[in-house]
Structure 1
Amino acid sequence: MNQHFVIIVAAGTGTRLGGDLPKQYQLLADKPILMQTILKFSTSQIHPKIIVVLAKGMEALWDELCQKHQFELEHYSCVGGSSRFQSVKNALIYIQEQFKITKDTKIAVHDAARPLITSQLIDQLYSTCDSSRPAVIPAVASSNSIRIGDQHNSRAIDRNQVWQVQTPQTFLGELLMEAYQQEEDLLFTDDASVVEKMSNIIHLIPGENHNLKITYEEDLIIAHYLFNKFS
């Protein structure tokens, strides 16, 4: 029985995009962004169990949207926390309570607002993750010149050593669950940083340039343009 999972984090408010609804509920093509993201995992060969993390109070809206769009793909949902770290932790607790976890279980964590991910990359991440590479993330090399510092004091660094990290980030389940027993740290910007703090090596594979995270209004415009090309 398939005991692989993906946690799709959809508990954010998405205020930077504007509009009355958080970004994950705004339309891309003919469906909310979150539904388009779920579809990518549902059509992957690995076909993981899908856990959607919703903000408290948004469960009724999500149910209403599923009915409106006749969205019947199997998925499970739980309520998020006050931060991304807490939301992922809540989802891991839900998985532990509802399913059997084995040493071969793999758990990916993905941003709800990355609907342009391809099923091919999803499958590659799960197939690459194993006991020798228990933490695998997609990343793209920087194409821009890079400086580090602030507005008043900065220096150039080698852009060939700079990677822009994406999701889904995929881990052996037991490792990810152990990592989330740590206390939350302000330096935890993604799941890889949580796992890395336990002295684990993070394995990079090439991501996809079009796997953008919809954050601002212009990102949604670009996503509409790219959606049909990469769907």
Structure 2
Amino acid sequence: MEENTIQLKKVAVIVAGGTGTRMNNTVPKQFLLLNHKPIVYYTINTFLQSYDDMQIVLVLPEEYVAAGQEIIDAFFDYSRIKITTGGRTRFHSVQNGLRLIKEECIVFVHDAVRCLVSSDLIKRCYDAAIEFGSAIPVIDSKDSIRIVTGEDNAAVERNSVKLVQTPQTFHSKILLPAFNIDYKDKFTDEATVVEAFGLRIHLVEGEDDNFKITKPADLIVAEQIIAGNQ
């Protein structure tokens, strides 16, 4: 495969606007510690290390902006990171982040708590977005799938089902106009917004380790993976 000659600036909108109620912790999960560093540290670090021209827009709950700034001051070059506040839903949080993007670029939208994302996946998403305009990482379902409708249920061929991950990656000329449409409940991620805008999306292979930390057990697994990588 020939290396892409087109080079666009890169901006990662890292969404950390949630409170993480399933973790049974008063601290939002993106600020919980993994091997003595906050979860969001690992996410930011991987994106910054993937490309020298990567810029970060970090979307945080309003009451945790100061905590986010402390992490940036402690670990990173603050000139490469901007902070904004989250909104009522994921859609609105991403929308807030996109408002800070003023020039043509490739935009990665990533869950802060998918802290084991690899530079390889980030680069594959970039290359695909350059070629196709979008890149949505997905993995196969390892479990059997059933669709429940009222009192009825039916098995689904799992080979036709994909589990969606982030970073969901787009050319800014696609993503920014798409997020000007009115919010609908079906907008669970960026891909659904872009599809509602009338555009097709391109799927790329994701990674099993790129899971979302949502429960205490996920922290233990993530710690073991990070320790192993080190």
TM-score, structure 1 as length reference: 0.90
The Cα offsets for residues 203-224 of structure 1, whole Å up to 9 and x where unpaired, read as 1111001100001111111111
Q: Distance in 2 between matches of 1:152 and 1:208?
A: 35
Alignment CA distance shift 1:230-1:196 (3 Å): farther
Cross-structure match for 1:134: 133
Residue 30 of structure 1, CA deviation: 2.0
Q: Offset of 1:46 from its aligned partner?
A: 6.2
SS of structure 2 residue aligned to 1:156: strand
Q: Partner residue of 1:26?
A: 32
Matches within 5 A, 1:195-214: 195-214=194-213
For residue 72 of structure 1, what is the amino acid of its counterpart?
F
Partner of 1:56: 62
Q: Distance in 2 between matches of 1:121 and 1:72?
A: 22
The 2-side partners of 1:64 and 1:46 are apart by 22
TM-score computed with the length of structure 2 as normaliser: 0.91
Larger helix share, 1 or 2: 2
Give CA deviations for 1:43-68 in whole Å, capped at 9, x if unaligned: 1136421110011121122233445x
Structure 2 contact 16–61 (Cα < 8 Å) conserved: yes
In percent, how many aligned pairs have the same letter? 38
Q: Which residue of 2 aligns with 1:95?
A: 101
The structural deviation recorded for 1:228 is 2.9
Residue equivalent to 1:15: 21
- 1:117 alignment partner in structure 2: 117
Comparing 217-226 with 42-51, greater Cα deviation is found at 42-51
DSSP 3-state at the match of 2:62: coil
* 1-structure distance, mates of 2:187, 2:155: 25
Letter in 1 for 2:124: Q
The question of whether the paired residues in 1 share the 8 Å contact of 2:48 and 2:54 is answered with: yes
Output aligned runs, 1:77-88, within 5 Å.
77-88=83-94
Retained in 2: the 8 A contact 1:37–1:112?
A: yes
Q: Deviations over 1:168-189 (max 9, x none)?
A: 0000101100110110110001
CA distance in 2, matches of 1:39, 1:212: 17
Unaligned runs of at least 5 residues, structure 2: 1-6
Deviations 1:77-124 (A, max 9, x none): 11111111111111111223xxxx13xx21010000001011111011
Aligned partner (choices 39, 43, 49) of residue 43 of structure 1: 49
Q: What is the deviation of 1:202?
A: 1.2
Distance 1:203 1:155, change over 3 A: same
Distance change >3 Å, CA 178–CA 126, structure 1 → 2? same
Distance (whole Å) between structure 1 residues aligned to residue 181 and residue 144 of structure 2: 35
Q: What is the root-mean-square deviation in Å for CA atoms of aligned residues?
A: 1.7
DSSP-derived class of the 1:61 partner: helix
1:212 aligns to what SS in structure 2?
Answer: coil
Q: Tell me if 1:229 matches 2:213.
A: no
Kindly indicate whether the alpha-carbon contact (under 8 Å) linking 1:89 and 1:180 is maintained by their aligned counterparts in 2: yes
SS at match of 1:115: coil
Q: Is the 8 Å Cα contact of residues 214 and 220 (structure 1) preserved in structure 2?
A: yes
Distance 1:183 1:212 in 2: 29
Mapped to 1, the partners of 2:202 and 2:52 lie a distance apart of 20
Q: Cα 1:230–1:199, aligned 2, differ >3 Å: closer, same or farther?
A: farther
**Following the alignment from structure 2 to structure 1, what is the Cα–Cα distance between the partners of residues 45 and 96?**
23
Shift of 1:40: 0.6
Runs (4+) off by over 6 Å:
none
Amino acid of the residue matched to residue 108 of structure 1?
Answer: F
For residue 109 of structure 1, what is the amino acid of its counterpart?
V
